[in-house]
Amino acid sequence: MPSIRFPLPAFIRRHVEAHYIDISLSRVLPLGVLIVFGLMVGLVFNHGLPHPYDKLLHVTFYGLLTFAIHAFFCCRLRISALVAFAFGVGGEIAQAFIPGREPSMLDAIANGIGVALVVFGIALWRSEQRRAAAEAENYQRLMARVEPVLNRSRSQSAPASSSPSSLALSDR
């Protein structure tokens, strides 16, 4: 997949393994989806949704935020989850200081559920990938042990059955 690499500043390079930021479609796409979702929700539902349905927006937005942070910054899943959840809690706290808005514990819980769903989904996907890789490795090890035995049995049985005298006997 094509990607663009930007070098990191020297003061950051001392603290990280990669000395560049890799910008590829797989990293930018979740961020783009998050931005489009945020704009759509802001423009279409700017008047607010009734109580049970606004929680779905919180779950979706903070799930997308967690995935976008994880994909774009390529950091540990725990860090992505903590940052996204901190943004959610911080947003709820900030609403206490905005006239006409009020913080909600249910919104913070919905934010956490969105984060947790994405963390669970990524962890499940990773475990399936590891399991498939382990099964493929076990198959390769098994075939490495079985292949010599099969080759030996083929080589022992092949000359006997293909010799002219054995063919002559089997034709009768």
pLDDT in tens, 75-105: 788 988 999 999 999 999 998 998 888 899 9
CB within 8 A of 72, min separation 6: which ones?
A: 27, 28, 30, 31
Question: How is 57-100 classified by DSSP, letter by letter?
Answer: HHHHHHHHHHHHHHHHH---HHHHHHHHHHHHHHHHHHHTTSTT
pLDDT band at residue 106, thresholds of 50, 70 and 90? Answer: very high
The rounded distance, in Å, linking the Cα atoms of 57 and 88 is 12
Looking at residue 172, its pLDDT comes to 46
Helix ranges (DSSP H) in the chain? 10-13, 25-44, 51-73, 77-95, 105-162, 164-171
Answer for the pair 41, 61: CB distance below 8 angstroms, yes or no: yes
For residues 45 and 25, which has the higher predicted lDDT (pLDDT)?
25
Q: Per-residue pLDDT averaged across 118-135, rounded?
A: 93
- The helix-helix angle for 105-162 and 51-73 (nearest 10°) equals 50
Looking at residue 122, its pLDDT comes to 93
How much is the CA Rg of the chain, to the nearest whole Å? 29
Looking at residue 110, its pLDDT comes to 95
- Joined tokens for residue 83: 């940052």
pLDDT band at residue 125, thresholds of 50, 70 and 90? Answer: very high
Is the whole-model pTM more than 0.75? no
pLDDT in tens, 38-81: 887 776 666 667 777 889 989 999 999 999 988 887 778 898 89
CB within 8 A of 18, min separation 6: which ones?
A: 8
The rounded distance, in Å, linking the Cα atoms of 94 and 79 is 22
- The helix-helix angle for 164-171 and 105-162 (nearest 10°) equals 90
The rounded distance, in Å, linking the Cα atoms of 51 and 45 is 13
Looking at residue 63, its pLDDT comes to 94
